[in-house]
Amino acid sequence: MLQVQNLTKTFGEIRAVDGVSFGVEAGRIFGLLGPNGAGKTTTIAMIAGLIPPASGSVHVDGLDLAARPADVKRRLGVVPQEIALYEDLTARENLDFWGGIYGLRGKALAARRDALLDLVGLADRAREPVRNYSGGMKRRLNLALGLVHKPTLILLDEPTVGIDPQARINLLDVVRGLARDGAAVLYTTHYLEEAENLCDELAIMDHGTIHAQGTVESLKAELGEGSVLTLQGAFSREDVAAAVERSTGLRALELDDGRALLNVPRGRAGVGAALEAIYTSGLHLTDVTVKEPNLEDLFLKLTGRELRD
């Protein structure tokens, strides 16, 4: 559905996007994961045809954006990070206005409007001015506006910024439904938990460059470092060091009196064997935790900074 090849964008001496390539299939959710300023919004803007790339190409359903911009844009639904609503109008009036821009009229427009209000859970508040809405309600209506013309490729630029947890859950459920119905979804976020739970495939982006790309599991596998075991208790540094030395595969990351961080070989057998070795070592333990490798760890490894820096 979407193919992006070697997109580049510069602003003066700043290279905001640097040779970005990826694809999104119909029925799939592809996430661009990265901190603010990584180049995600600029990438979305180029795909949407809002700004021209310095180089590279965008194809949607086989159509070249540069050669056939009108045909490509008819297939796109763009939901920007900034809420784009007329606050003095009701939800119904906002949808009627944007639907009219896309050529919808009469019963077809009314049916599409009402279906979207049901989809985003705003049917019971549809006749109220948008200025009375909460932030979460505005985000849901913002999403509905991007769907009014039944796009086959949906571009969502950090759509859950600044909303409460329940509103986020509701909005993400809508996004999952769009993919189940066959749309291709490109989703940008700097929320790790969203990316892990929502996306079928991810690209980790920073400073305009994609550093890694794949499924959540394949990206985690790139760490190649297994789990981290944290021990706390009434033990000495020497005692825990001796226990680690007796346990095949365990590696000490940090050892102190009363606290130790250990690297455990990858896989469930490695964690199980490590826990058995620790519990039978004679150490007096008060707390043991296991931390599986995650995308935050991978991002830190690839970029040298935390995701939200």
Q: How far is CA 7 from the centre of its chain?
A: 20
pLDDT interval class at 269 (50, 70, 90): low
Domain end call among 221, 242, 265: 221
- What average pLDDT score do residues 109-138 get? 95
The burial class, CB within 10 Å (0-12 / 13-18 / 19+), for 101 is: exposed
**One domain, residues 215 and 231:** no
Task: Establish if 299 belongs to a structural domain.
Answer: no
- What average pLDDT score do residues 63-68 get? 96
pLDDT interval class at 93 (50, 70, 90): very high
- What average pLDDT score do residues 80-85 get? 90
Task: Establish if 297 belongs to a structural domain.
Answer: no
Report helix, strand or coil for 106: helix
What is the token pair recorded at 225? 């470092």
User: How many CA atoms lie less than 13 Å away from 18 in the CB half-sphere?
Assistant: 12
**One domain, residues 206 and 167:** yes
pLDDT interval class at 128 (50, 70, 90): very high
CB 24 within 8 A of CB 183: no
CB 56 within 8 A of CB 19: yes
What is the token pair recorded at 61? 């359903």
Task: Establish if 308 belongs to a structural domain.
Answer: no
Position 2 pLDDT exceeds 60:
yes
Task: Establish if 305 belongs to a structural domain.
Answer: no
CB 153 within 8 A of CB 77: yes
CB 75 within 8 A of CB 153: yes
Q: Which domain holds residue 268?
A: 227-292
E strand or H helix that includes residue 63: strand 63-64
**One domain, residues 153 and 265:** no
**One domain, residues 47 and 6:** yes
Position 154 pLDDT exceeds 90:
yes
Mean pLDDT in the chain? 88
Strands of 153-157's sheet in order across: 76-79, 153-157, 184-189, 29-33, 201-206, 209-214
